[in-house]
Amino acid sequence: MSDAPLQRSNDSAQRRPATPMAQQILDRGSLLDDAKAVPNGLKAAGAVLGLGFLAVNAAIAFIVIDGRLDGEWYDFRDLGNAIARLRAELDDTSAGPWLSYWVTGVIGAVGILSFLGGFLLIGSWIERRLLARFQIRMGPNRVGPFGLLQPLADALKLMQKEVLIPLGADRMLFYLPPILVFIPAMLAWGPVPWAPNMSYLDLNVGLLYVISITSLSVLAIWMAGWASNNHYALLGSMRTVAMMVSYEIPISLSLLVVVLLTGSLNLGDIVAWQADHNIWLGALLPFAMFTFFFSSTAEINRTPNDIAEAESEIVAGFHTEYSGMKAGLFLAVELGNALLVGALLATFFLGGYSMFGLEEWIPPYLILAAKATAGYFAFIWLRATLPRFRIDQLMSFAWKYLIPLSIANVLVVAIEASIAARWDVEGIFIYGSFAIVNLGITAFAVRSWAKVVGYTPDLERPVGTRIAPRIGGLKEAKRIQAGA
């Protein structure tokens, strides 16, 4: 390679990539090319199926909105009403209320478990394929078509492996954590509303319930680290405990803001509030949404904050000593929690099952599933993009940055909530102006507070490029491009 600075040429034939990696980036096809490569027959079949689905939905929705089915659906598209009717019929029988409790409990549990189980089967494949795509690799593509059966093969392998118990481990505490960590991950799905009238636990304190149940997994992780009799595991678990305890405060404060505006702790009411006012709380409360998203990555050990199991520092963190399906349970919980946080993010900040009237036409639970999967995709994107924080950076970010700003945010939103309660104006105007004001305040506060507490040593702040012009840095490239 010559020392000549980067030349930008409009002629793509003469464009010479700097590295083999750059050559690969140029050579790889886009998603559009992949889509074009699908055989025409498959495209036609997909189009027929999709259009047919939409047509059936539209026909049923027309009948329902027309009032021919007393305004409610009883088919697959509104399972909530169907089950409520089933409950009413069971209550009328002589068996008493326990029968309807049992039946609906079993139906709901089976529904949530099968949704989550199906996701766990496909989720790790999605994550690995997408990560591979981000990193210009192929990803798993050997087992089954497109490698779709890879998670199944992984699970079978994990089940066959022997579960080792290290010498000197605390046997009782070593057995429990993979089970205990699974329980909160399942229970926290309870209050999530999938449609109007369709949540497994319709609690008045649903939001507090979610916070408290998810905080229980700290103990299981600490037990795993303590019982392993391994320094890396103990370090990982202590990091996790410190991190989770710190990041629970910003999460609670960001959800407190949601409660201030909506005036309810019931997750269904929060979604209904957003649907009524035709506004997403994420647009209204950008800082709370950012806080929730970022702190959640710390709570569930996703990448910007996955120091609890930083592979390059402490082998695998708290589950270093776990093998076989016990390790598999930890990994599955991690996967499921990512989807759970996606669903909670959608419920609190992105309108939940509602989509500006679209929920009248397609099943609301499909909308929520799509939003949760979009949240999961954002987590994968972050994992492929961002490096990992150090533990002290993470701690100071929570305590010095997120918590003071969250408290200020609570103050601002409390003022706005009292204004909205006293001022009798059309909702969309007052909340629209709040959204603009909040966005401005957030941008200003984030920048200025970062200047106050930020780690910006003067010595390391580059005044100009030092080495970059020699090898053709960005500035140099811009200078050349400008026509010098």
**Residues sharing a CB contact under 8 Å with residue 379, sequence separation 6 or more, in sequence order:** 297, 302, 303, 338, 341, 342
CB of 438 to another protein, least distance (A): 24
Per-residue contact flags (x/-) with another protein for residues 378 to 397, judged by CB under 8 A: -------------xxx-xx-
Among 72, 154, 170, 313, binds another protein (CB under 8 A): 170
Told to check if 205 binds another protein by CB under 8 A, we report yes
Q: Distances in Å between the alpha carbon of 180 and those of 170, 216, 220?
A: 16, 9, 6
Among 167, 172, 421, 467, binds another protein (CB under 8 A): 172
Told to check if 457 binds another protein by CB under 8 A, we report yes
Q: Which stretch binds another protein (CB under 8 A): 10-18, 65-73, 206-214, 412-420?
A: 206-214
Per-residue contact flags (x/-) with another protein for residues 78 to 117, judged by CB under 8 A: ------------------xxx--x----------------
Residue 402 is classified by DSSP as I
Among 74, 134, 175, 399, binds another protein (CB under 8 A): 399
Told to check if 265 binds another protein by CB under 8 A, we report yes
Q: Which stretch binds another protein (CB under 8 A): 38-46, 202-210, 279-287, 437-445?
A: 202-210
Q: Distances in Å between the alpha carbon of 254 and those of 37, 105, 147, 446?
A: 45, 31, 40, 15
- Nearest CA among 368, 358, 371, 369 for reference residue 57: 358
When the beta carbons of 173 and 430 are compared against another protein, the nearer one is 173
Give counts: helices (H), strands (E), the chain. Answer: 21, 0
3: buried, middle or exposed (CB in 10 Å: 19+, 13-18, 0-12)?
Answer: exposed
Total site size for another protein, rule CB under 8 A: 39
Q: How far apart are CA 167 and CA 165, in angstroms?
A: 7
Cα 356–Cα 276–Cα 64 angle in degrees, nearest 5: 65
Residue 303 is classified by DSSP as G
Q: How far apart are CA 354 and CA 346, in angstroms?
A: 10
Told to check if 208 binds another protein by CB under 8 A, we report yes
Please give the structure tokens belonging to residue 427: 């909702």
Residues that bind another protein (CB under 8 A): 96-98, 101, 170, 172-173, 176, 203-205, 208-209, 211-213, 215-216, 218-219, 222-223, 226, 238, 241-242, 245-246, 248, 265, 391-393, 395-396, 398-400, 457
